């Protein structure tokens, strides 16, 4: 949740691609995932992100969320059964 997706265009002279790019600020990624950010040896110490590593991280997080979703669905079903039982008890008591 601490990563903020950004859009940008390459600086002139850096890349011929003039299309809109999507990514993250390398310095922000580095705080969370230092292993997937590299620093160049140029005078600006340009940082770059290994975006291929994000694929595995993304799949892992999706899998974890899927487990949580399944657990919440199960809990919701249990709660619905409890609600239905309580409704039945209330209706039975009202009939008496």
Note the pLDDT of residue 34. Answer: 95
Note the pLDDT of residue 14. Answer: 76
Domain extents in the chain: 1-49, 51-96
Residue spans of the chain under pLDDT 70:
none
**Residue 37: Cβ within 10 Å count:** 19
First-last CA distance in the chain: 54
Note the pLDDT of residue 57. Answer: 87
> Contact, 26 vs 38, CB < 8 A?
no
Note the pLDDT of residue 54. Answer: 85
Length of the chain: 96
């Amino acid at each position: 949740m601490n990563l903020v997706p950004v859009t940008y265009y390459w600086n002139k002279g850096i890349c011929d691609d003039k299309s809109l790019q999507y990514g993250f600020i390398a310095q922000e990624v580095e705080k969370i995932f230092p292993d997937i950010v590299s620093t160049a040896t140029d005078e600006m110490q340009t940082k770059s992100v290994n975006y291929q590593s994000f694929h595995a991280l993304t799949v892992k997080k999706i899998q974890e969320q899927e487990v949580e979703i399944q657990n919440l669905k199960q809990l919701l079903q249990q709660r619905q059964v409890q609600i239905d039982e309580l409704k039945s008890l209330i209706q039975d008591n009202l009939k008496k």
